[in-house]
Copies of this chain bind each other. A is one copy, B any other.
Amino acid sequence: MESEELRNVGLKVTTPRLKILGLLENAKAKHITAETIYRQLGESGEAIGLATVYRALAQFEAAGLITRHQFEGGQTVFELERGPHHDHIVCVRCGRVEEFYDKVIEDRQREIAENFGFTLKDHALTLYGECNDENCLGRTG
């Protein structure tokens, strides 16, 4: 249950937090902005203050429940951290987001950091391109 998840990371179980977690699980889009969370909760009658949404997301991130991504030209998006690590490829025309994991790249990153004498803590990799989805191609030609 979601209550467990909150307790496990040392957060009090509150209605706003449960609603936000629940929305992250059930939202159609996996990568979602704070604004969207705020708006969707409002529309479904579960009004939560925007400040609370931001606060909860920051806490969830600190607790490792979610991750945050900043795709170029867009606002910050959040996603539930379930399953293994992955990076993203984003269509610059339609905004479609796909996920991938590439062991070759992950390994090289570690080697590169090592060569510079860095202890690798994190990385951000996003590919940008134009997708071949029919709904995307249809828009611009």
Contacts and interface: CB of A to CB of B under 8 A. Distances in A.
Given A124-B126, A130-B121, A89 B116 contact: yes
A117 interface: yes
Number of copies: 2
Contacts of A102: 108, 112
Given A89-B113, A102-B108, A117-B131, A124 B125 contact: yes
How many residues of A sit at the interface, in one of the four size bands? 20 to 34
A108 B106 CA distance: 11
A100 B126 CA distance: 17
A105 interface: yes
Nearest to A104: B108
Given A89-B112, A116-B89, A126 B128 contact: no
13 contacts: A72-B122, A91-B118, A92-B122, A100-B112, A102-B112, A104-B108, A105-B109, A116-B131, A117-B131, A120-B127, A121-B129, A121-B130, A123-B125
